Structure 1
């Protein structure tokens, strides 16, 4: 276990200390910060040495050790003009309807809507955290899959 200090930028007047393991995921750290500083996970961007920390990575991936200070940049809450707003992300697409249908088989209508809303928030957060390199890797992976499905050329 180690102590990590998280300081809100800009201003840095507010900070918290959390106890974490060095292999703790960034998403887990964000959840702890959300409890301590009352900042929703989807509005958090954690930064260490100028680099944004990816939710899918762990602290040790960035060589973050004991008594390290990382910075928290709080995103503005979504607005109606935000293309990544949960109210804009696939509001009536086939995917969301199929997911809603599946959730309703396992949850009450009210709970299914809550789960769907949380999923959309996480999806929005994940999407906004993608780097240009991440997008390029996704495109190349998709391109390779299309090429493999086309079969050998003659």
Structure 2
């Protein structure tokens, strides 16, 4: 185990220290940073010695050792382009409407809307923090439940 310092740029007033393994995947580091600095994974760009760290790589791929400082550049969210922004998550879908109706049975309309908004924010955050492998597993499990083919292309 080693300690890694992550400093937000520009300004650099905010930073955190995280405990990692030298073979820790960059995506895992981003998840730790998300918890410590409250910056969603999809808005993070980690930089070491001028190089952007790739999610598919590990710390040791960049020769990052103990007591190293890496920089975090926070991307600005583009709400009109970001399909996972809470303002764009299924505003008129059947699921959200059913959930809204259920909430309205137990809460005032204003409180139901607040709860629904909080739920959407949590959902958005959870989806943004999924790795590509996790998304692929979800898609495959859904495909298999629907009676389609598995990864090898054979019918189930």
TM-score normalized by structure 2?
A: 0.54
Q: Deviations over 1:89-136 (max 9, x none)?
A: 211111111222233344433232223223223333333444433332
Contact 1:3 1:17 in 2 (8 A): no
1:48 deviates by 8.3
**Structure 2 residue aligned with 1:14:** 12
How many angstroms apart in 2 are the aligned matches of 1:101 and 1:138? 27
**Given the superposition, is the C-alpha separation of residues 119 and 74 from structure 1 closer, same or farther in structure 2, using an over 3 Å criterion?**
farther
Q: Deviations over 1:28-56 (max 9, x none)?
A: 7535413xxxxx64774374872549xxx
Across the aligned residues of Structure 1 and Structure 2, the Cα RMSD in angstroms comes to 4.1
1:33 and 2:37 are equivalent in the alignment: yes
How many angstroms apart in 1 are the aligned matches of 2:45 and 2:105? 36
Contact 1:46 1:70 in 2 (8 A): no
Aligned length: 131
Q: Tell me, what secondary structure is at the counterpart of 1:147?
A: coil
Consecutive unaligned residues in structure 1, runs of 5 or more: 35-39, 54-64
**Given the superposition, is the C-alpha separation of residues 125 and 78 from structure 1 closer, same or farther in structure 2, using an over 3 Å criterion?**
farther
Consecutive unaligned residues in structure 2, runs of 5 or more: 21-28, 57-64, 149-154
How many angstroms apart in 2 are the aligned matches of 1:71 and 1:122? 26
TM-score normalized by structure 1?
A: 0.55
